[in-house]
């Protein structure tokens, strides 16, 4: 039996907290729904459509079916001991410093929750946080929810050389412009390298520039390094925490989802000095408290295997970037062949492509609130069955039209998916060039 | 150091790195004064760093200690639950992101189960949010709906996270204790009640919400329809929200019925009801929970969720969905896990109560949940040597762990500052434990009696 409507008394006063103001819109909710609605070749949302590595799936099965059924119960709140221990060992080698698994590492529900803990722990009302544009979209609402003020500084695209495809290295910060963004109120800067959506891998020199400013202005660095293993063409991923003066003011964020192609496991971590991590622990114990045990156990075993195979051809950290580099080159070729201009990424599994040549398909609407690339991406999804994400999604409201002729493609996809995308692009070009 | 010669050269960990580290360490020492100030924590987490679990789980981690403290089962989850997880993880797509607000098959299953229980239509996409444990639901609800200037009523004793979560949201917790109301010798959780006048006085124009926990942790109290009506009337009168933590909803013992306050007239629109896979299926390590309520409230929780962790783990949600379908289909059958687990727990409850009584203790027999609180003052253990400020029950539990190798949780951990002294003679035992654990507890309790005789 259902209650009559007359007895449903709604709350008459406004219910939601002010901290939610301006944080309700989310492109993924919209674009994921669209990609699901229209049958598309999905190069939009960033997740692999190929399987996770066998050794990791086996580790998970072992964790689930093993004798230790206590893996279905709570583990240590700040991180399952085998996982924090192996992470500490790994990062000790990578950073060249001693790490205590109990105080220098904390496990989170994906890198997403690690970011949330950082902002909640360190950003108070009135604090400014520098965000480099384009940025992974959650940084802005998270800063706002913490009562902070995002201060944006753009990566600017250098002019192309005639006839040549550009590299993501062509996206650069202007040092003077960057320096001007630091003020007395600057609490932190968010760094994302390798960068989503551009695929840019910040060079040592670029990181030293940022590091100098952090030290000069006594600013924290929240370093989102989830794509740390996905670097191509022999490029080096430099960890800013290893630069002079940076360890004590940096929180490094990582992700099992990206490292091991298991985005659905939602296991992430933070690495940093105890005087910073202690505050992340406080946020964590008052928000989610524990992370799921079995997935942590499996990821620990994955890392154990990688530690043993480090630098060898069998290492997943060698194989995955090798495989993805081939897919990158394949997609670049596909896009270039039809006249979309891809910018070759140095890292991550994303690239952005200039769609100007296809503008005739989607006429400009003057005075439209929606950025051009967003309309283009939606049209492409509905009419061509190819899903990508507009670059404007990674800019703040005021800057959404700065670079509105680009869409982002994810190439962490099976050969069949990339081939299907190629077919769509070829057909599209053919349709456009028909008399 | 095998690595130094081989792989890490590729990563360019050059020798100058060591010199850089030494240099940065000396810079750190001289700059540490300014760094310490600038990198201090935000106001919102000031004073929220201590946590009873971090303290006591560390102490009880010693395997020689019989652990009846933290609420986690040492019994196995049902085999089909584990099988479903193995099945789910074998599907490649299930290892990648799912829908942020809840995996479609899971929210569908939850909506079916709760439609049946509540007797109303529940939209799986707008009326449900899946979170990282019920803990995550509490956090999302409080962050979404509570802010500075608000007051939130918390019934004591309370699950300890309510207070810091309310404070982190900038609001003021207002406490009201359950009071013992019985002349006789029997001690049931039903004897602990709220004083209706005292409760009414706690509501004012600033009151944004009341947090209800039924079945109650740590007391095991199952609020009756009449008791819920008193709370509901006040919520409606003062136009407040109700955050109803019902994680132990299936664990009610004979003679008791779990009633959802959201089903009382006028309450659906102002209530967020929270549930837990960990408690429902004995899988606390899966960390999946959910909030169920009207769209006009859940939509704000969804905004918090999309800005905190975005999505929960896929394989766990898929497995949970399948487990729910299995039990949904047999909700009229006594073999349904929701009922079979409860029967199993009831006999453990009775055994636990008997052991404690035989040891000369006075347990409060719970009507629901899997905790039992016990008055230990009758044992007259003298612990006056220690820290004056530390409540008796904290001292008692620490002493019991070291000298008796048995752990529990001090009840004052579940109380606001004014009420700590009132409850400091009580400790909480968890009885969702396998027979061998309870056997070991029995040995300790029997020997205890002999030693003090």
Q: Are B149 and B59 found together in one domain?
A: no
**Model confidence pLDDT, tens digit, residues B109-121:** 999 999 999 999 9
Q: Under 8 Å CB-to-CB from B251, ≥6 apart: which residues?
A: B215, B279, B341, B342, B345, B368, B369, B370
Q: How far apart are CA A154 and CA A203, in angstroms?
A: 17
Inter-chain CB proximity B268 and A8 less than 8 Å: yes
Query: Which residue in A has a C-alpha nearest to residue B146's C-alpha?
Result: A17
Q: Tell me which of B329, B350, B377 is where a domain ends.
A: B329
Inter-chain CB proximity A73 and B74 less than 8 Å: yes
Coil, helix or strand at residue B432: coil
Coil, helix or strand at residue B206: coil
Q: Under 8 Å CB-to-CB from A402, ≥6 apart: which residues?
A: A133, A154, A395
Q: Are A156 and A290 found together in one domain?
A: yes
**Model confidence pLDDT, tens digit, residues A15-30:** 899 999 989 888 887 8
Instruction: Assess if residue B42 is contained within a domain.
Output: no
Q: What pLDDT, on the 0 to 100 scale, is given for residue B36? A: 45
A108 vs A267, A286, A305, B189, B298, CA distance in Å?
6, 13, 21, 37, 24
**Model confidence pLDDT, tens digit, residues A334-344:** 999 999 999 99
Mean pLDDT check: name the lowest of A1-5, A323-327, A405-409.
A1-5
**What values do phi and psi take at B264, rounded to 5?**
-75, 150
B240 vs A18, A37, B179, CA distance in Å?
17, 39, 24
**Model confidence pLDDT, tens digit, residues A224-243:** 999 999 999 999 999 999 99
CATH code of A415's domain: 3.90.1150.10
**CA R_g for chain A:** 22
Q: Are A35 and A68 found together in one domain?
A: no
- A-interface mutation test, from B43, B84, B96, most A Cβ less than 10 A away: B96
**Model confidence pLDDT, tens digit, residues B153-192:** 999 999 999 999 999 999 999 999 999 987 766 699 999 9
- B-interface mutation test, from A115, A266, A412, most B Cβ less than 10 A away: A266
B78 touches chain A (CB under 8 A): no
Query: Which residue in B has a C-alpha nearest to residue A51's C-alpha?
Result: B92
B306 touches chain A (CB under 8 A): yes
Q: Under 8 Å CB-to-CB from B274, ≥6 apart: which residues?
A: B134, B137, B138, B141, B243, B244, B245, B246, B247, B289, B290, B291, B292
Inter-chain CB proximity B41 and A282 less than 8 Å: yes
Q: Are B317 and B194 found together in one domain?
A: yes
Strand ranges (DSSP E) for B157-306?
172-177, 179-180, 192-193, 207-213, 241-245, 271-276, 289-292
Q: How far apart are CA B227 and CA B231, in angstroms?
A: 7
Spell out which residues of chain B touch residue A76, defining contact as CB-CB under 8 Å.
57
Spell out which residues of chain A touch residue B165, defining contact as CB-CB under 8 Å.
286-287
Rounded to 10 degrees, the C-alpha dihedral B165/B171/B176/B178 comes to -20
Q: Are B90 and B193 found together in one domain?
A: yes
**Model confidence pLDDT, tens digit, residues A124-150:** 999 999 999 999 999 999 999 999 999
Q: Are A300 and A352 found together in one domain?
A: no
CATH code of B423's domain: 3.90.1150.10
Output the average pLDDT for chain A.
Answer: 94
Whether B370 and B248 have beta carbons less than 8 Å apart is answered as yes
Spell out which residues of chain A touch residue B89, defining contact as CB-CB under 8 Å.
57, 60-61, 64
Q: What is the ipTM of this complex?
A: 0.94
A389/chain B closest Cα distance in angstroms: 16
Instruction: Give the count of domains, chain B.
Output: 2
pTM recorded for the entire structure: 0.92
Q: Which domain holds residue A359?
A: 22-52+316-432
Q: Under 8 Å CB-to-CB from B314, ≥6 apart: which residues?
A: A264, A265, B88, B94, B95, B96, B97, B98, B103
CATH code of A118's domain: 3.40.640.10
Residues of chain B falling short of pLDDT 70: 1-38, 60, 184-186, 449-453
**Model confidence pLDDT, tens digit, residues B219-258:** 999 999 999 999 999 999 999 999 999 999 999 999 999 9
What are the beta bridge partners of residue B154?
A: B175, B211
Q: How far apart are CA A30 and CA A392, in angstroms?
A: 14
Q: Tell me which of B284, B300, B329 is where a domain ends.
A: B329
CB atoms within 10 A of CB B398: 18
What are the beta bridge partners of residue B175?
A: B154
**Model confidence pLDDT, tens digit, residues A202-220:** 999 999 999 999 999 999 9
Inter-chain CB proximity A3 and B265 less than 8 Å: yes
Q: Are B200 and B341 found together in one domain?
A: no
**Model confidence pLDDT, tens digit, residues B99-153:** 999 999 999 999 999 999 999 999 999 999 999 999 999 999 999 999 999 999 9
For chains A and B, what is the number of CB pairs under 8 angstroms? 284
Q: What pLDDT, on the 0 to 100 scale, is given for residue B451? A: 53
Beta strand pairing status for B371-375 and B426-430?
antiparallel
Strand ranges (DSSP E) for A250-391?
250-255, 268-271, 341-343, 350-354, 386-387, 389-390
B303 touches chain A (CB under 8 A): yes
Q: Are A80 and A28 found together in one domain?
A: no
Q: Which domain holds residue B414?
A: 50-75+336-447
In this complex, the residue of B57, B164, B312 whose CB is nearest that of residue A266 is B312
Inter-chain CB proximity B268 and A3 less than 8 Å: yes
A63/chain B closest Cα distance in angstroms: 10
B268 touches chain A (CB under 8 A): yes
Query: What is the 8-class DSSP label of residue B371?
Result: E
- Say yes or no to pLDDT of A40 above 90: no
B310 vs A31, A142, B129, B307, B319, CA distance in Å?
14, 11, 11, 6, 20
Query: What is the 8-class DSSP label of residue A252?
Result: E
Q: What pLDDT, on the 0 to 100 scale, is given for residue B184? A: 65
Instruction: Give the count of domains, chain A.
Output: 2
Whether B272 and B114 have beta carbons less than 8 Å apart is answered as no
Task: Return residues 122-161 of B near A (CB < 8 Å).
Answer: 132-133, 135-136, 139, 143-147, 161
Work out the angle at residue A29's Cα, subtended by the Cα atoms of residues A256 and A253, and round it to the nearest 5 degrees: 25
**Model confidence pLDDT, tens digit, residues A160-214:** 888 889 999 999 999 999 999 999 999 999 999 999 999 999 999 999 999 999 9
Burial of A336 (0-12, 13-18, 19+ CB in 10 A): middle
B172/chain A closest Cα distance in angstroms: 14
């Amino acid at each position: 039996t259902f209650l009559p409507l007359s007895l449903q008394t709604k709350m008459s006063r406004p219910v939601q907290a002010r901290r939610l103001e301006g944080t309700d819109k989310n492109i993924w909710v919209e674009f994921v729904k669209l990609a699901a609605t229209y049958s598309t070749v999905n190069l939009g949302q960033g997740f692999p459509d190929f399987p996770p590595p066998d050794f990791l799936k086996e580790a998970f099965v072992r964790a689930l079916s093993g004798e230790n059924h206590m893996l279905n119960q709570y583990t240590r709140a700040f991180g399952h001991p085998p996982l924090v221990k192996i992470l500490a060992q790994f990062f000790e080698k990578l950073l060249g410093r001693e790490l205590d698994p109990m105080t220098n590492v904390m496990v989170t529900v994906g890198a997403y929750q690690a970011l949330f803990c950082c902002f909640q722990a360190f950003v108070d009302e009135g604090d400014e946080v520098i965000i480099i544009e384009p940025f992974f979209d959650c940084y802005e609402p998270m800063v706002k929810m913490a009562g902070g003020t995002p201060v944006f500084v753009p990566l600017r695209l250098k002019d192309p050389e005639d006839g040549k495809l550009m590299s993501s290295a062509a996206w650069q910060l202007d040092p003077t412009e960057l320096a001007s963004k630091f003020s007395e109120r600057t609490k932190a800067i968010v760094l994302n390298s390798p960068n989503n959506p551009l695929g840019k891998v910040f060079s040592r020199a670029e990181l030293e520039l940022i590091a100098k400013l952090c030290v000069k202005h006594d600013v924290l660095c929240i370093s989102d390094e989830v794509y740390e293993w996905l670097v191509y063409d022999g490029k080096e991923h430099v960890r800013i925490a290893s630069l002079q003066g940076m360890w004590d003011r940096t929180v490094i964020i990582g992700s099992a989802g990206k490292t091991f192609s298991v985005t659905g496991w939602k296991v992430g971590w933070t690495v940093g000095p105890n005087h910073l991590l202690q505050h992340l622990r406080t946020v964590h114990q008052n928000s989610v408290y524990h992370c799921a045990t079995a997935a942590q156990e499996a990821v620990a075993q994955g890392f154990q295997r990688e530690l043993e195979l480090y630098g060898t051809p069998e290492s997943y950290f060698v194989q995955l970037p090798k495989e993805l580099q081939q897919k990158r080159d394949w997609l670049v070729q596909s896009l270039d062949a039809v006249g979309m201009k891809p910018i070759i990424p140095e890292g991550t599994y994303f690239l952005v492509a200039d769609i100007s040549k296809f503008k005739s398909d989607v006429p400009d609407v003057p005075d439209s609130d929606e950025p051009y690339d967003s309309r283009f991406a939606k049209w492409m999804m509905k009419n061509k069955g190819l899903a990508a994400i507009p670059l404007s999604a990674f800019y703040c409201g005021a800057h959404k039209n700065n670079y509105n002729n680009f869409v982002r493609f994810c190439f962490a996809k099976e050969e069949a998916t990339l081939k299907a995308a190629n077919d769509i692009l070829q057909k599209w070009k053919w349709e456009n060039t028909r008399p | 150091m095998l690595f130094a010669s081989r792989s890490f050269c590729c990563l360019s960990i050059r020798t100058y790195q060591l010199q850089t580290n030494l240099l940065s360490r000396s810079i750190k020492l001289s700059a540490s004064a300014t760094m310490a100030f600038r990198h201090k924590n935000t106001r919102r987490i000031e004073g929220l760093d201590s946590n009873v679990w971090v303290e006591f789980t560390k102490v009880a981690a010693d395997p020689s200690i019989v652990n009846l403290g933290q609420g986690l089962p040492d019994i196995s989850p049902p085999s089909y639950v584990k099988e479903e997880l193995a099945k789910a993880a074998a599907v490649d797509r299930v290892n990648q992101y799912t829908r942020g607000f809840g995996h479609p098959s899971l929210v569908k299953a939850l909506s079916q189960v709760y439609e049946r229980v509540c007797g109303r239509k529940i939209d799986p996409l707008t009326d449900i949010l899946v979170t990282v444990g019920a803990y995550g639901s509490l956090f999302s609800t409080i962050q979404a709906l509570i802010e500075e200037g608000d007051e939130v009523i918390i019934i004591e004793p309370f699950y300890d996270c309510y207070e810091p979560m309310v404070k982190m949201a900038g609001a003021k917790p207002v406490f009201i204790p359950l009071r013992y109301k019985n002349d006789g010798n029997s001690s049931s959780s039903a004897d602990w009640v709220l004083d209706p006048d005292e409760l009414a006085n706690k509501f004012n124009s600033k009151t944004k919400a009341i947090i209800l926990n039924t079945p109650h942790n740590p007391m095991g109290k199952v609020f009756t329809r009449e008791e819920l009506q008193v709370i509901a009337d006040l919520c409606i009168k003062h136009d407040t929200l109700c955050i109803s933590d019902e994680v132990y909803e299936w664990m009610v013992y004979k003679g008791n019925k779990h009633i959802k306050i959201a089903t009382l007239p006028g309450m659906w629109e102002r209530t967020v009801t929270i549930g837990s896979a960990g408690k429902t299926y004995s899988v606390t390590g899966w960390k999946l929970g959910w909030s169920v309520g009207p769209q006009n409230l859940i939509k704000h929780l969804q905004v918090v969720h999309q800005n905190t962790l975005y999505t929960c783990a896929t394989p766990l949600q898929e497995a949970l969905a399948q487990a729910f379908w299995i039990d949904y289909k047999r909700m009229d059958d006594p073999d349904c896990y929701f009922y079979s687990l409860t029967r199993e727990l009831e006999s453990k409850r009775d055994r636990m109560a008997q052991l404690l009584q035989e040891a000369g203790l006075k347990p409060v027999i719970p009507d629901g949940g899997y905790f039992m609180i016990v008055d230990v003052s009758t044992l007259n253990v003298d612990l006056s040597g220690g820290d004056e400020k530390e409540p008796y029950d904290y001292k008692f539990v620490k002493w019991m762990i070291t000298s008796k190798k048995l752990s529990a949780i001090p009840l004052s951990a579940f109380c606001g500052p004014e009420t700590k002294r009132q409850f400091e003679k009580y400790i909480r035992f968890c009885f969702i434990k396998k027979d061998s654990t309870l056997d070991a507890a029995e040995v300790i309790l029997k020997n205890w009696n002999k030693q003090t005789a």
